Chains A and B, each alone.
Chain A
Amino acid sequence: MDANIQQVQVVLFYNFWKSSNLFKIADSFDKSFANIFDGGQKSVLPVNDQTPPEVPRIIMSSQDGEYQFQLSLLRANFIIQGEVSSKINKAVDFAKKIAAVSLNDYNWSINRIGLVINAKKEFNNNALKFLDKHYFSNNLQSQEKQKEIHSLIEDVWEDEKVNQWLRLKADANYLNIVVDRNLVPDDDRDLSKSDIFQYLEISSEKIKEIISNLPDQ
């Protein structure tokens, strides 16, 4: 299937890094991103230590909103959306930069990675019929307005369990596709830079393959 990739989100999970200076940290990431956030909004949030660790301490958004970066004590999110070409490859490249800064500059421990792709396919006829034909044995009810399936495959990478979710949601003429491939949580896992690079490359190719292998009509 030739679906339109709407958004790519890559997430690196930390073992709760400790903050020394948020400005220095923000500068490190900003520099590695090669000015894509210049002209946009770059925020450092000096919050107190009762603020939940999942609340972002650094938020960057590009001028057109196509690139977003959020850094909390527990995770780094990088999101690409809009009209950017080759979103998946670019997200993987940015995730590698995040990993490099996190490990090389600050020695933070990364224990988990997630890669989530949102895509969309427009059908000339009803997208519910597509879903029904391929996944529900032509049992479409006339009253049905939306239909969706959630499928989980448990994959393995380097002896580590990977959850690979495929979600298909038909709504009128559109089929919304979500592929979420993430390492299962494990606070004791400590990924090296090469682990992370390898996981990202393998996962991005697998996700492309999953979308590509969806039936066309």
Chain B
Amino acid sequence: MERTTSKLPENYSINNSISYVSEFFDYSNLTAQIRDNINSFPRITEGLKITDQFNFSTSNLLKNLSNIYKVQTTVAKEEKEISIVVSLFSKIDGVESIYAKYDNGYYDIKIFTTNDKYDAELMERLFNIEDTIFEVMGTENFSFEYLPAKYLSPKDVLSEKYYIIFKG
């Protein structure tokens, strides 16, 4: 039986980690900054910025993003991205559950909604988040599909490869 040096959480770090995140956020040019930050985590310390390009809940969206970036200091890039996705969609009333399948760097995400008929406002909110994610993280790693939970059960329409990542 071997003995090793303890690897306690306090000592834990990975190569793509940052040690400090600014509390200050200058809300201009957010998209570009987040893109930079995802590509290079240490740049998060420069703060996040935004142009007011979204009509709905922009401040909530930003608040979520900001909070996530503030608290996530040592997680790997892939995990950081999926946690951002969950955080953004899960804050929307009307999202019942989120399932995801991961395959070779690609996330296939199914979002089940509570509406029983087409809800244009809800869809606009969801599409706005989707657009933001695509802008910030690129389109090549994610696909999104919105399904009415009232008519479609995840167990009936999703394969065993999908994991539930949020339930409202």
A residues at B contact (CB < 8 Å): 15-16, 18-24, 26-27, 30, 35, 38-39, 41-50, 53, 73, 109, 158, 160, 187-192, 195
| Distance of A189 Cα from B68 Cα, bound (Å) | 35
| A15 contacts across to B, CB distance below 8 A | 4, 6-7
B163→A44 contact, CB < 8 A: yes
Tell me how far the C-beta of B104 lies from the nearest C-beta in chain A, rounded to whole angstroms. 10
Nearest B-chain residue to A60, judged by Cβ: B163
Q: Pull 14 A–B residue pairs with CB atoms less than 8 Å apart, ordered by A.
A: A20-B78, A22-B79, A22-B82, A23-B100, A24-B102, A26-B163, A27-B161, A35-B160, A42-B164, A43-B165, A46-B83, A49-B73, A49-B75, A190-B1
B76→A41 contact, CB < 8 A: no
| B100 contacts across to A, CB distance below 8 A | 23, 44
| A16 contacts across to B, CB distance below 8 A | 7-9, 12
B75→A48 contact, CB < 8 A: yes
In the complex where A16-B9, A18-B14, A43-B164 touch, is A48 in contact with B3 (Cβ < 8 A)?
Answer: no
| B19 contacts across to A, CB distance below 8 A | none
B165→A46 contact, CB < 8 A: yes
Tell me how far the C-beta of B111 lies from the nearest C-beta in chain A, rounded to whole angstroms. 15
For B72-108 the 0/1 string (1 means CB < 8 A from A) is: 1111101100110110000000000000111000010
B2→A192 contact, CB < 8 A: yes
Residue B120 interfacial (CB < 8 Å): no
| Distance of A189 Cα from B2 Cα, bound (Å) | 6
Residue B155 interfacial (CB < 8 Å): yes
Chain B interface main SS type: mixed
Tell me how far the C-beta of A33 lies from the nearest C-beta in chain B, rounded to whole angstroms. 11
Tell me how far the C-beta of B155 lies from the nearest C-beta in chain A, rounded to whole angstroms. 7
| Distance of A192 Cα from B3 Cα, bound (Å) | 11
B163→A190 contact, CB < 8 A: no
B83→A190 contact, CB < 8 A: no
Q: Which of A22, A42, A49, A191 contacts B71 (CB 8 A)?
A: A49
A18→B4 contact, CB < 8 A: no
B160→A190 contact, CB < 8 A: no
Nearest B-chain residue to A157, judged by Cβ: B1
| B6 contacts across to A, CB distance below 8 A | 15, 187-188
B7→A109 contact, CB < 8 A: yes
| Distance of A44 Cα from B102 Cα, bound (Å) | 11
| Distance of A42 Cα from B86 Cα, bound (Å) | 16
| Distance of A114 Cα from B7 Cα, bound (Å) | 20
| A18 contacts across to B, CB distance below 8 A | 12, 14, 76
| A47 contacts across to B, CB distance below 8 A | 83
Tell me how far the C-beta of A63 lies from the nearest C-beta in chain B, rounded to whole angstroms. 9
| A30 contacts across to B, CB distance below 8 A | 160
B1→A191 contact, CB < 8 A: yes
Residue B55 interfacial (CB < 8 Å): no
Nearest A-chain residue to B72, judged by Cβ: A48
| Distance of A195 Cα from B85 Cα, bound (Å) | 41
| A39 contacts across to B, CB distance below 8 A | 155, 160
| A50 contacts across to B, CB distance below 8 A | 71
| Distance of A217 Cα from B119 Cα, bound (Å) | 67
| Distance of A63 Cα from B35 Cα, bound (Å) | 41
In the complex where A16-B12, A192-B2 touch, is A48 in contact with B71 (Cβ < 8 A)?
Answer: yes
From 31 to 83 in chain B, residues with beta carbon under 8 angstroms from any chain A beta carbon are 68, 71-76, 78-79, 82-83
A48→B68 contact, CB < 8 A: yes
A46→B79 contact, CB < 8 A: yes
Nearest B-chain residue to A111, judged by Cβ: B4
Tell me how far the C-beta of B164 lies from the nearest C-beta in chain A, rounded to whole angstroms. 5
